[in-house]
Structure 1
């Protein structure tokens, strides 16, 4: 397969296709990455999200915003506030801010409650007081989906979009995916086959610093989750799979599956805990190495 690799939203992306992309499509994909980053990044000072940090008022967001907002509303409800799009201030409090200080400014603080002071509905955010929107729970998966849509629109029927472990697969030939060891990135704890769907992972080791700090927080406390060390989830789209993988750090797989299952699909999921045991659906459990 042909391969196209590039940096996007602070990590490495790879697109694999049966045939060449061509210069025009490559530029289209890169322009979409730039557009996405300009809207949603809390690390670049000119982004729309960064503007929210400093003021109050209304901000208009692009067409992907309604489904992202709806997804976060479901996650907020099913996790009882543990997944919260306003967690950005909590992340910056412990050092994960625009300057990548990686030095806590104090003890962890809970994210603001999602209420009338912080409204995100459809394509608009309205703030009565400044807040830091963070879509990290589902944003990388959303970008993977957007790039996949551009590939499909260009006529590609078999492809893989890999956003540093958030994988979208299209085509008839299944893709074998290794499950990265949560403590040794060059090792795998198992494998699964992925076909025509998305598989996403979350782990505290990818963005870790200081004395046990990482980016996967319980928004109700603002502190990193310690009991779960790695998660995986599948869904028809990468945005949902990414969101589920994040939510598995603060909620049970059974609760999330009950919320997101449909008549034609149910999420596959896996949680690996700090004490070494794993819980999940047979799809993942049977793929683990003994």
Structure 2
């Protein structure tokens, strides 16, 4: 997703293995908002990165069944991930770490070899949230031996929500934060709202060809199976795992975009939809979440009032 508005101040830069974009409704407020965003990104990376051996997540995964004490930020990120597992009945689950690693995603995406002849050896069904012993009051975490967490998408969505809220407070104006398709807005939006160009699973970077929507509050997230991919053992792979199998879900949707009250809620629902496949539209309708689902052949399905496509987002 790419966000655009009428003459906002904006900056984009690499972060968390993706691209971070920041837009502010008041051009003079960009520096203050950027300072907040930088601090939030550094904090979530130190807490939740799978690719830093010094991160809290890496230390917890390496504890081999021993209890570890975690920071308040990691505790919040873990609570968010466990809540996602609860509301999706395990379809979005933080204990997929071993499964994701088995598929070959054991280094940053930039460091992945696009072609790897080694066979894929699946880890099998994941242990699930009951393998996570979590004392929230003491902030003490113990993972059963062999279990590894991947807070991945929910942590990034949480960072977007927190950064947008705190940046809007610091800047005194409307703010939009987009972390690789996890998007959150806070404060007073520009007239007409923030215009968002929706990623559609194509390789094109031309936002003028993408459908657009406008949002004034909450979050919007797009999950997909076609852009961040690699090959291993003759298979085309991506990072969204079905916890029931430890393998990729059946490929039904190339992208799913969801709007919700927060980026965390939107991301949880869009990830769940990818895993659910054909069951996703009914699930989104029951949840009352506007969504745009694009099949592999390009057919678009919309639920809960998602508007018809309007091209031309870069304005």
Task: Please tell me the TM-score bracket, short chain as reference.
Answer: 0.7 to 0.9
1:114 aligns with 2:128: yes
Alpha carbons 2:284, 2:291 under 8 Å: kept: no
Higher helix share: 2
1:81 to 90, 100, 118: 90
Q: Give the alignment's TM-score, normalised by structure 1.
A: 0.85
Change in 2 beyond 3 A, CA 1:124/1:134: same
Matched-pair contact (CA < 8 Å) for 1:137–1:242: yes
Cα 1:23–1:237 shift into 2, 3 Å:
same
Report the alpha carbon displacement of residue 119 of structure 1 after superposing the two structures with TM. 2.3
1:207 maps to which residue? 228
Match of 1:166 among 170, 182, 190: 182
Change (3 A) 1:6 1:227: same
For residues 203 and 243 of structure 1, the distance between their equivalents in structure 2, rounded to whole angstroms, comes to 13
1:41 aligns with 2:35: no
Equivalent in 23, 27, 31 of residue 19 of structure 1: 27
Question: Cα 1:175–1:65, aligned 2, differ >3 Å: closer, same or farther?
Answer: same
Which residue does 2:12 correspond to in 1? Answer: 5
Please state how far the C-alpha of 1:98 moved relative to its aligned partner.
2.9
- Higher mean C-alpha deviation, range 102-111 or range 123-132: 102-111
Displacement, 1:64? 4.4
Give 1:201 shift. Answer: 0.4
Report the alpha carbon displacement of residue 89 of structure 1 after superposing the two structures with TM. 0.8
CA contact (8 A) 2:29 2:171 kept: no
Counterpart of 2:95 in 1: which secondary structure?
A: coil
CA–CA distance in structure 2, aligned partners of residues 24 and 168 of structure 1: 17
Alignment of 1:85-234 (within 5 A): 85-98=94-107, 100-102=111-113, 103=116, 106-114=120-128, 116-120=130-134, 122=136, 123-170=139-186, 171-172=188-189, 173=191, 174-186=193-205, 188=209, 190-210=211-231, 211-225=235-249, 226-234=251-259
1:57 maps onto 2:66 in alignment: yes
With the length of structure 2 as denominator, give the TM-score of the two structures: 0.79
Counterpart of 2:282? 254
Cα distance in 2 for residues equivalent to 1:10 and 1:167 = 16
Q: Which runs of 5+ in 2 are unaligned?
A: 1-7
Partner of 2:294: 272
1:108–1:185 Cα change, 3 Å: farther
RMSD: 2.6
Looking at structure 2, the residues matched to 145 and 253 of structure 1 have their Cα atoms a distance apart, in angstroms, of 25
